[in-house]
Structure 1
Amino acid sequence: MARYEEVADDLRERIRNGEYEIGGTLPKYEALTATYGVGRGVVSTALAVLEREGYIRPIKRKGIVVLDWRIERRRIARGQVVTRNTEGVGYVFPAASHPGERWAPHGRPFREYAPAPERVAELLGVEAGIATLRRRRVMSPVGEPPFQLVDTWLSAEAVRDAPQTAEASTGPGGYIDRLEEAGHGPISWTEYIRTRMPSREEAQLLEISAEMPILETVILGKSAKTGKTIEVTVRVIPSDRVELVSELRRDKSAGWPTSPVTPKP
C-alpha cells in the first residue's frame, strides 16, 4: 500500500470514529506531516482522496472542514410518469424523496435574472449569457445537509405570457400551471441525465468538495402551442448521495423458456 493510502486510511478511520468531529477541521498540513512522518506531497494526495470521497472540504480562511459522511445513499427509481400531488395541485416529477418525507429549503428560494449558462441557453434556444429568469432553491430532507440544487430557467416568452412565473408566489400548482393556463398546455417533458463536476458556486451551495462529481438531471418543458422549449429545470445532486435504479423487463424476443433454434440448412 502506498504511503498516501495509509495516511488516508488512518484519517478516514479517525473521522468515522469521531476523533475529528463533523463541522470541525483537521490539523494543519504542518501538524499532519509531523504526525505521519511524511512530506507535504503525501499529505496533499491523501487529503485529495478523502475530498473525492466526501469526507472533507477545504474552505478558505477556515481550514480542512470535516463533512457529514453519515448520509445514506438514496436509491432513485427512475420512473417516467408525471403525477399530481395528493391534494391534486402541482405536478410531481420523478425525485429522490420518499413518500411522506418532509423537505425544507436551505436559505430562501429566490428568483432573479441571471446570464444563461451555455447548456441552458442551447436548450432554450437563446444566446449564451443573455439575462434569463432563474428560479433557484436548495433543498434537503429536514435535518440533513443540502441535498439538491434546483434551478428553473424560463424563456422570455414564458414570462411574457405568464407574468406570475416571475413572482415569489405563483399560486396553487406553481409556475407550470401558470404556463399551461397561459395557453402553453399541455406541456410535454423530456429528461436528460448525466454526471459532471460541479461549478465552484454549486459546490459552495451544496456544501461539498469541488472534487465531488454531481448527478445532473435536466427536464425540458415544451409548449403545446409553439412547440418550443419554454422552461429548463436543472437539478444537481452530489454523486455520493444517490444511485439510479431501473427495473429491467424482458422483451417478447427474450421470453423464457427459450424457443429452440432451428439450424440453418
Structure 2
Amino acid sequence: MSRYEEIAEALRRAILSGAYPVGAQLPSESDLASRWSASRGTVRQAVALLASEGLIGSRQGARRIVLRQERRHSFAELNSFAQWAQGVGHRVTSTFLSRTRRPATADEAARLALDPGTEILYVVRLRHLDGEPAMVERTAYADWVAAAVETLPDDCVSVMDSLAEQAGIVAHYGEHLIDALAAGAEDARLLQIRRGGPLLRQRHISSTRTGRPIEWTDDRYRAGSVTFSVTNSAAVTPLERHAGKTLPPRQGDASRS
C-alpha cells in the first residue's frame, strides 16, 4: 500500500467510525501533512481518493466536508435495492431508461430457465441515493413477468415491491455474484464518473417460492456508494463439509438483491 493510500485508509476509518460525522470538516492539508509526516501532495492524493468514493466533498480551495458514512447493504435477508435503502433511512429514486422486448441471449435463457430465444423484457434503470447517481441496473425479466413490469411508471422506486403488490409475484430466493470492473462509456456517463473508473458489480437472480426464476440482473455501483456486508459462521452453514472430497459443481453461479 502506498503512503497516500495509508493516509486515505486512516481517514476513511475515522469517517466511518463517526470521528468525523457527516457535515464535519476534515483538518487542513497542512495539518494532515504534519500529522502523518507526509508532503502536501501525498495528502492531496489521499483526500482526492476519498472524494472519488463520495465520502467527502471535492470543492477546490476549501476545507473538505464529510458527505456521508458507510452505506452497508447486508445479504442476511433478501430485499431489493429500494427496500434496503429506505430501511436504513436513505432517499432512493429510480428511472426507467429503457424497456425492450427481445429474444433472450443464451446466458439469459439459461439463468431464467427458458427455452433459447424465448422473448424476455430487457430493462435499464438508473438508481439514485440521496440525490446522487449510485447504480445502473440492467435486468432481464422472464417472459411470464414481462407484462407486469411494462405497466409500471417510469419513476417506479421498487419493481419487486410493485410486482408483489400488483401481481402477487414475490421473490423468496436469491443468489449473488459480486466482482469489480472498469466503467465503460455508458456507465461513466450515467454515474457521472470518468471512463475506466472502478465499479462494483452485483449480478443476481431472484426466484419464487417454487424456484421459478423472476429476473436476472447486472447491477453496477458507483465506487463508495454501497458496501456489501456478509456475515457467516462455521457453526451455522447449509453446506456439509466432507474431508478429502470435492463438492459437485452447482448449476448456475448467479445472484439476487
What TM-score comes out, normalization by structure 1 length?
Answer: 0.50
Letter in 2 for 1:139: R
The Cα of 1:81 is off from its aligned counterpart by 1.2
Distance 1:81 1:93 in 2: 14
1:88-237 correspondence runs (5 A) = 95=84, 99-105=88-94, 108-113=95-100, 120=108, 122-124=110-112, 132-142=120-130, 144-159=131-146, 163-169=147-153, 173-178=161-166, 180-181=168-169, 187-224=172-209, 227-237=211-221
Seen in structure 2, the aligned counterparts of structure 1 residues 122 and 187 have a Cα distance that, compared at 3 Å, is same
- For the residue of structure 2 that corresponds to 1:210, the secondary structure is coil
Q: Report the 3-state secondary structure (helix = DSSP H, G, I; strand = E; otherwise coil) of the residue aligned with 2:189.
A: helix
Give the superposition deviation at 1:202: 1.4
> Alignment partner of 2:133: what SS?
coil
Q: State how far apart, in whole Å, the 2-side matches of 1:247 and 1:223 are.
A: 24
Name the CA distance, whole Å, in 2 between partners of 1:118 and 1:72: 41
How far residue 96 of structure 1 moved from its aligned partner, in angstroms, is 5.2
Provide closer, same or farther for how the CA distance between residues 93 and 167 of structure 1 changes in structure 2, counting only shifts above 3 A. closer
Shift of 1:172: 9.8
Give the whole-Å Cα distance in 2 for the aligned partners of 1:121 and 1:111.
20
Matched-pair contact (CA < 8 Å) for 1:54–1:209: no
Extract unaligned runs of 5+ from structure 2: 5-25, 28-47, 54-59, 237-257
Counterpart in the other structure of 1:27: none
Unaligned runs of 5+ in 1: 6-15, 18-49, 56-65, 84-90, 253-265
Is the radius of gyration larger for structure 1 or structure 2? 1
The structural deviation recorded for 1:207 is 1.0
- State the SS of the aligned residue for 1:158: helix
Contact 2:203 2:219 in 1 (8 A): yes
Would the alpha carbon gap of residues 70 and 113 (structure 1) be closer, same or farther in structure 2, given more than 3 Å must change? farther
Counterpart CA distance in 2 for 1:233 and 1:97 is 20
Q: What letter corresponds to residue 221 of structure 2 in structure 1?
A: I
Letter in 2 for 1:157: W
| Distance across 1 between alignment mates of 2:113 and 2:160 | 29
CA change 1:172–1:96 in 2 (3 A) is closer
- For residue 54 of structure 1, report the CA deviation from its aligned partner: 3.5
Q: Which residue of 2 aligns with 1:74?
A: 70
Measure how far apart 1:220 and its partner are. Answer: 0.8
Amino acid corresponding to residue 103 of structure 1 in structure 2: V
Contact 1:73 1:241 in 2 (8 A): no
Alignment RMSD, CA only?
4.9
- Cα distance in 2 for partners of 1:77, 1:141 equals 13
Secondary structure class of the residue paired with 1:251: coil
Deviations 1:77-111 (A, max 9, x none): 4232136xxxxxxx677745662322234xx4244
In 2, the alpha carbon distance for the partners of 1:97 and 1:173 equals 12
User: Are 1:81 and 1:93, in contact at CA under 8 Å, matched by a contact in 2?
Assistant: no
User: TM-score by structure 2 length?
Assistant: 0.51
Conserved? CA contact 2:178–2:203, under 8 Å = yes
**In structure 2, the residue corresponding to 1:147 is in which secondary structure?**
strand
Distance 1:173 1:122 in 2: 25
Contact 1:74 1:242 in 2 (8 A): yes
Amino acid paired to 2:181: R
Q: Against the structure 1 CA distance between its residues 180 and 136, is the aligned structure 2 distance closer, same or farther, given a 3 Å change threshold?
A: same
Identity of aligned residues (%): 14
